[in-house]
Amino acid sequence: MGGGNRASGTPGYEESARYVENQLRAAGYDPVRHNFSYRDGSGGQVETFSILADTAGSAEHSIVVGGHLDSVRSGSGINDNGSGVAAMLEIARWMAEANVEAVNRVRFAFWGGEEDGLEGSEHYVDEMSDAEMSQTALNLNVDMMASPNGVRYVHDGDGSEYDDGAPAGSGAIEHLFLGYFAENGMEAEATPFDGGSDYAAFLEAGIPVGGLFTGDVGIKTEEQEQSYGGKAGSSHDPCYHQHCDSIGNVNHELLKEMAGALAYATIAYAMAAPAG
């Protein structure tokens, strides 16, 4: 799995998309492709798509659970963001197998074009009507869920650490994630909304956002080494955007922990009675 990539517009992306679609169909979903195009950094035209799959439930209070399916051209992107895709697929499959009767519709969104500038999620938000915008209750974003020297990061929805101006309601998402980790005896800490992943378009549109991340080029501190293990003074993912981001670049235990948190939040919001 270390020899190819899933860059948008490539055969590798198409092959990976078909795998995701087949897994979703096998679980009973009806995935659709959300097509779009853009020019990449070299000026070339890229024709690609995101994949959307919905549960049952009220579309008036939709929960968008998103993570990017594409990778950079320089590597296979197993942590970035095959790990997030794997977590989303497993949650979608479990919800179907368990016959979860969602009150609110969950839309699983596998974004294309993230590595070229968040293209897929921006296109999705740009195309929403006013009604669709108002019916989108929140966005949960997952990006890099299994960094080998990772940390359990939760995006700072309440602004208490970084004051990034996240929309109202984002703090509740952060607290839900942090509460899950605390109840399960796991350390977790805030990370900023720095605009570097697919939550950005939702945030800019005023939709509540939250998400999980385990780190990329940031350096693990001594305090983090004590809390999470790993190696202080080294980056969270030394293979970030490199050829070595292969199957051997995955922290399996951390992936299970982060996927558990995402599942908890997804079900909580899917089953929550709409406010008002």
Cα-trace Rg, the chain: 17
CA 252 to CA 268: how far, in whole Å? Answer: 24
**DSSP assignment string, 120-151:** HHHHHHHH--HHHHHHEEEEEEEE----TT--
Residues labelled as active-site residues: 114
Nearest CA-CA partner of 150 in 186, 176, 115: 186
β-partners of residue 37 are 47
Nearest CA-CA partner of 34 in 125, 117, 105: 125
Task: Fill in the DSSP letter of residue 274.
Answer: P
Tokens of 166: 């996240």
The position carrying tokens 């020899």 is 3
Determine how many CB atoms are found less than 10 A away from the CB of residue 122: 21
CB 2 within 8 A of CB 243: yes
Contacts of 48 (CB under 8 A, 6+ apart): 8, 9, 13, 35, 36, 37, 70, 112, 113, 119, 120
